[in-house]
Structure 1
Amino acid sequence: MFDYRSAALEVLNTEIAALQQLDQYFDQHFLDACDMILANKGKVVVMGIGKSGHIGNKIAATLASTGTPAFFVHPGEAAHGDLGMIAPGDIVLAISNSGESQEILALFPVLKRLQIKIISMTGNPQSNMAKLSEGHLCIHVPKEACPLGLAPTSSATATLVMGDALAVSLLQARGFTAEDFALSHPGGALGRKLLLKLSDIMHLGDDLPMVTPQTLIRDALLEISQKGLGMTAVIDDKQHLLGIFTDGDLRRILDKRIDIHTTAIRDVMTENPTVAHPDMLAAEGLNLMQSKSINGLLLCDHNKLVGALNMHDLLRAGVM
């Protein structure tokens, strides 16, 4: 039986060795490329053919999601009309391991005429693409992981890592924050965690469970049942929070044989409950609830009750 594991480990070790020597190319050329892109007012247009094109697509997506406007253009399509997507002030990031991709080199004269700056990413600093570009990022690797030395493997990995290094370096230089990242990912789980506030999912108005201190426990239980949050707030006549009563509190008072028909809620409520501000991020609210081992949370503004929610609300919102 063929030893698949040994073959896989050989690939891993070869690609690790390729990446370990990549740091020598984070040199002045890399710094100049970062400065060029950071100072640029236009977009970064990534180009690549074949496997370099697939990697280029990912690099463009990473740049775009980390604060550097970018998109991918296929060189073949660019030669048949898509070149119109590139405007003066843009920068082209041209990727080719050999540095001799004719589909890309054929576009250089037009790009030069448009005064488009070009940064090439190749495995050969002496290639035509490297020599004709304003900037060059070297991605040379000692050997491919493919035993035939033909399939782009180590070189593709090195290209991807160089693209990530470029994107993350620019991210840090721009002072790009997690909130900025979330703005470009509003539909994903990260966007929900970084953008969604408790006020976006809280219950309010007639859906807010609340009773006065004089309310009998039996009537408070009706309020809890009707509002469906497993708790009720206890407030004064100005809606200032005095306490909370939960399903857990009910189990405890039943063990003590307290008469729910004659006892007021003020006698059994929990004073000074855990509260949050409605402007708190939903993810922070979740952390607060988990740290306090509670299933419901009251939201207050200057001690005035404005909302409430429970774990089910966070679950429905996709925060957990």
Structure 2
Amino acid sequence: MANPDHSKAVARARHVLDIESKAIARLAGQLDQRFDRACALILAASGRVAVSGMGKSGHVARKIAATFASTGTPALFVHPAEAAHGDLGMITGNDVVLALSYSGESDELVALLPSLKRLGVPLIAITGNGNSTLAREADVWLDGSVEQEACPLNLAPTASTTAALALGDALAVALLDARGFKAEDFALSHPGGSLGRRLLVRVSDLMHADDQVPAVDADVSLRDALLEISRKGLGMTAVLDQDGALAGIFTDGDLRRALDRGIDVHATRVGDVMTHSPATIDADQLAVEAVALMEKRRCNGLLVTRQGRLVGAVNMHDLLRARVV
């Protein structure tokens, strides 16, 4: 069997990647004030960005629309052929249209131009031909031209679609930056993903509260504290002073240390063997911060406070179930 590093397939693949990477690098030199103008049109619009394209450009347009939508720029994909049969109603006068066509002469897109003009919708075109119909009719033309396709026949859209996709990403990120879009904003549009859980789930969403919070007075016996731990099943209990304020915590680890010293569980006050100044976390903090604190303190559970008062408890199992870890 031939060495894959020297096979014809690997050589071809490397050639393709070289062509496409050069096509993207070339785009940087093609950017000018027109890119600023395109961003300004989108930022000024009170509606959405309607992204459209046919064939392979249509697939790229769908991805660009999805990237816009997930990074703070409301967007949708409009199929140009379907637009001519009713879907044009998806576009309003408050929107901006971003049209992709390497030739700039796609019949379906060109056919929409009169209707878009009547709507008064700003048009941004990404094409490889600045003299094309689409480029001439657009309010802003972005140069997506490439020197060659990666296809050995120089026919199949390869480098050109990669370049268009990269330009779309460049627009999305420039707009994200202009809007001051933050990680928390990104999480709001990705609530089902791991990032969404890490940036949206708060301790208060997961904590055990009210009657589920293990808590005993400092004067109760160690035996009674153990019963509370067993009832609540969190491997710990908060210990409160006479005013109901948090005085400490008693955990499974504290119990092992107490038994090693020969403590009488019936005669010993829990306040005498508890851990003072326990690790706590505010209910409004992110659950991922609870994970970090547990790792730092090397513990499996935390007491939860709000304005200094005990309001709940959370342990590593709760965080694992919520898939925050």
Q: TM-score range by the shorter chain?
A: over 0.9
- In the other structure, the counterpart of 1:136 is 141
Query: Per the alignment, in what secondary structure is the counterpart of residue 265 of structure 2?
Result: coil
- In the other structure, the counterpart of 2:29 is 24
- In the other structure, the counterpart of 2:235 is 230
- In the other structure, the counterpart of 1:80 is 85
Partner of residue 294 from structure 2, selected from 289, 293, 316: 289
**Partners of 1:144 and 1:225 in 2: CA distance:** 69
**Partners of 1:139 and 1:164 in 2: CA distance:** 13
- In the other structure, the counterpart of 2:72 is 67
Residue 197 of structure 1: how far off its partner (Å): 1.1
Partner of residue 42 from structure 2, selected from 13, 26, 37: 37
Quick one: which amino acid aligns to residue 262 of structure 1?
A
Residue 89 of structure 1: how far off its partner (Å): 2.0
Partner of residue 204 from structure 1, selected from 206, 209, 217: 209
Query: Per the alignment, in what secondary structure is the counterpart of residue 267 of structure 2?
Result: coil
String of CA shifts for 1:43-94, please: whole Å, max 9, x gaps: 1100011111111111111111111111001011101110011111211100
- In the other structure, the counterpart of 2:181 is 176
Quick one: which amino acid aligns to residue 307 of structure 1?
G
Partner of residue 125 from structure 1, selected from 109, 127, 130: 130
- Please say if 1:240 is aligned against 2:275: no
* Residue 250 to residue 9, structure 1, CA distance change in 2 (3 Å): farther
Residue 195 of structure 1: how far off its partner (Å): 1.6
- Please say if 1:162 is aligned against 2:164: no
- Please say if 1:109 is aligned against 2:114: yes
**Partners of 1:238 and 1:13 in 2: CA distance:** 72
**Partners of 1:95 and 1:267 in 2: CA distance:** 74
String of CA shifts for 1:102-155, please: whole Å, max 9, x gaps: 110011011111111110011111211101100111111222222222222211
Residue 266 of structure 1: how far off its partner (Å): 1.1
**Partners of 1:238 and 1:152 in 2: CA distance:** 74
**Partners of 2:17 and 2:214 in 1: CA distance:** 58
Residue 217 of structure 1: how far off its partner (Å): 1.7
- In the other structure, the counterpart of 1:280 is 285
Aligned residues: 320
* Higher alpha-carbon deviation: 287-296 or 102-111: 287-296
* Higher alpha-carbon deviation: 8-17 or 105-114: 8-17
Query: Per the alignment, in what secondary structure is the counterpart of residue 307 of structure 1?
Result: strand
- In the other structure, the counterpart of 1:147 is 152
**Partners of 2:68 and 2:319 in 1: CA distance:** 31
- Please say if 1:312 is aligned against 2:314: no
Query: Per the alignment, in what secondary structure is the counterpart of residue 208 of structure 2?
Result: coil
* Residue 153 to residue 251, structure 1, CA distance change in 2 (3 Å): farther
TM-score by length of 1: 0.96
- Please say if 1:269 is aligned against 2:274: yes
Residue 264 of structure 1: how far off its partner (Å): 1.4
**Partners of 1:159 and 1:239 in 2: CA distance:** 64
- In the other structure, the counterpart of 1:298 is 303
**Partners of 2:112 and 2:312 in 1: CA distance:** 60
**Partners of 2:106 and 2:72 in 1: CA distance:** 29
Q: CA RMSD in A?
A: 1.4
Quick one: which amino acid aligns to residue 71 of structure 2?
T
Query: Per the alignment, in what secondary structure is the counterpart of residue 24 of structure 2?
Result: helix
TM-score by length of 2: 0.94
Q: Which runs of 5+ in 1 are unaligned?
A: none
Quick one: which amino acid aligns to residue 320 of structure 2?
L
Residue 283 of structure 1: how far off its partner (Å): 1.6
* Residue 248 to residue 150, structure 1, CA distance change in 2 (3 Å): farther
Query: Per the alignment, in what secondary structure is the counterpart of residue 239 of structure 1?
Result: coil
Q: Which runs of 5+ in 2 are unaligned?
A: none
